[in-house]
Amino acid sequence: MDDMIHYERALEIDATPEAVWAVLGRYMHVDEFAPLVKSVDALTSGEDGVGSKRRCHFDNGTSVVEEVTAWVPNRKCRVQLSEMSAMPLHEAHAELNVVPLKNGRSNVKWGMSYRVKFGPFGWLLGQTMMKMMMGKVLDGNLKGLASKV
């Protein structure tokens, strides 16, 4: 059994993929629209793309390191999470997909895939509480993105 749990939220935004990416593509500045991200440390320099790394600090004092593993401007960004101080996860990835719609609109999908520690109990936790928590976070990020765009 694949114990990776997948979770995704989506939001239609009244802006072109290019306009959405103008905000999303500023990789080191996710704190400009993600409500729970207090600040970001850039761990790499140069152009944003595969290999770019950042540490996000949250209001509650925890942090996470995110490294880009896929980068398709105006369309897709995938990151691998590590050093997750607050989350009982073995492994986690986040993926953003920007899908062009008619009339210059975009559908933004924000997905998380993660593997929880603590065996079956952790898996259950991941299916319930973690999904609830992530739902709030992803919805908040999408709403923040929409208002920033």
Structural domains of the chain, with CATH:
5-148 (3.30.530.20)
For residue 84, is pLDDT > 90? Answer: no
Least-confidence region, from 14-23, 82-91, 92-101, 133-142 = 82-91
CB 87 within 8 A of CB 75: no
Q: What is the pLDDT of residues 113-130, one digit of tens each?
A: 999 888 888 888 888 888
Q: What is the pLDDT of residues 6-62, one digit of tens each?
A: 999 999 999 999 999 999 999 999 999 999 999 999 999 999 999 999 999 998 899
For residue 1, is pLDDT > 60? Answer: no
More confident residue, 3 or 21: 21
CB 50 within 8 A of CB 69: yes
Q: What is the pTM of this model?
A: 0.90
Q: Average of pLDDT values for 90-107?
A: 96
Q: Average of pLDDT values for 68-94?
A: 92
For residue 69, is pLDDT > 80? Answer: yes
For residue 3, is pLDDT > 90? Answer: no
